[in-house]
Each structure stands twice: as C-alpha cells, then as structure tokens.
Amino acid sequence: MPPFGQPVSKVPPSAPSPYPLTDCLSYADLNFKSACASGNPAQNNLGGAGPDAGPAEIRYSRVGVYNSRGVDLVLQAATPLTRFEDVGQSDVGLSGCEGPLGKVTIQAGSQVTLVFSFQDSLDRSVVALPSFLFSIFDVDGLGSEMASITGFSRVIMSNPTNLWQRKSFLRA
C-alpha cells in the first residue's frame, strides 16, 4: 500500500474505462432535478442548523422510484455540525440544493459524520435499494477536504483526478 496521500492506482487518460457503461444500467435511477426544482429540498435543517425548523435533516423528496414507490434521500448529522458562516459568499453557508444537485456545506476546519438513508416518500419507512450510484463534486483540496465512505462495493473516479483513494476514504 502506498503512503497516505499517494494514489493507489492511476489509469492513463487514454485507457478505456475498466467499468463498461452497461454497469450503470443495473443501478437505481436517482435524480435530484425534481427534488431541487424549487431551489430548496423538502426539508432543510441539517444538524438543526436551519434555515428550516422541524426535523434535523435534509430531505430530498422523490429522488427516485423503487418497487413503484417514490423514494426520498434523507441526510442526518450523527455528530455536531458547524455550518459554514462566511456571509460574503453567495451560499451564506446553507446546505440544500445547488441547481439540480444536493449540497452540504460545513465550516472549514470542522468535520461532521452524515448518515444517508433512503425512505419511502409516503410512509417514511427505510428503503434498501439493491444498488445505486453516488457522486461527490467539488472536493477540490482547498484546505483539507475529505470524504470517508463506508458500505460501497467499488469506486469509479474521473481521470485525471486530484483525489486519492485509500481503502474506504477519498481525500483531495
């Protein structure tokens, strides 16, 4: 295993992807476009930091359909959250939506453990999807950004990338 901060493996930019496009056809189709159509998720109170009142979560409604039922993606903070407070920035530190994408912002130098779950849109029971694709954007390495992810079967990274992969986490 290479030392921390060194790429585990690199695929030359001219090499074909080791994962054929048809692999994506077996995954649940998730889409934030309608969940973020209003510019905000259905519930936006991650870690109780607002701006909404109510449950301490971000709820993206009907991001997909499974077994003919709508599915919500719910994010909850399992540890205390320090919201990004730079009011000079256009997002004013609020998590929620960025166009058709979900967005989580936290203060630089802080960390939070997030729990992602899928729930039935009507009765809010937990839904176990057999498989799905999940993307992380804007881990650009300004400061020290890291995503630690568990419970996945494989990672597909763009090439070139400024990310390092080592076991169960990615780091810029």
pLDDT tens by residue, 118-157: 999 999 999 988 888 777 776 655 556 677 777 777 777 7
Residue 91 has pLDDT above 70, yes or no: no
Q: Where are the alpha helices (DSSP H) in 2-129?
A: none
What's the pLDDT score for residue 24?
46
Mean pLDDT for 92-100 is 78
- Which tens digit of pLDDT belongs to each residue from 44-69? 999 988 888 999 999 999 998 888 89
- Across residues 16-39, what is the average pLDDT? 65
Which residue pairs from 20-25 have beta carbons closer than 8 angstroms and sit at least 24 positions apart in sequence?
Answer: 24/133
Residue-level pLDDT at 150: 75
Bridge partners of 72, per DSSP, are 119
Length of the chain: 172
4 or 151, which is more confident: 151
Q: Quick one: which H or E segment has residue 65?
A: strand 58-66
CA distance 121 to 86: 34
Closest CA to 102 of 61, 132, 54: 61
What is this structure's pTM?
Answer: 0.74
Q: Is the pLDDT of residue 41 over 90?
A: yes
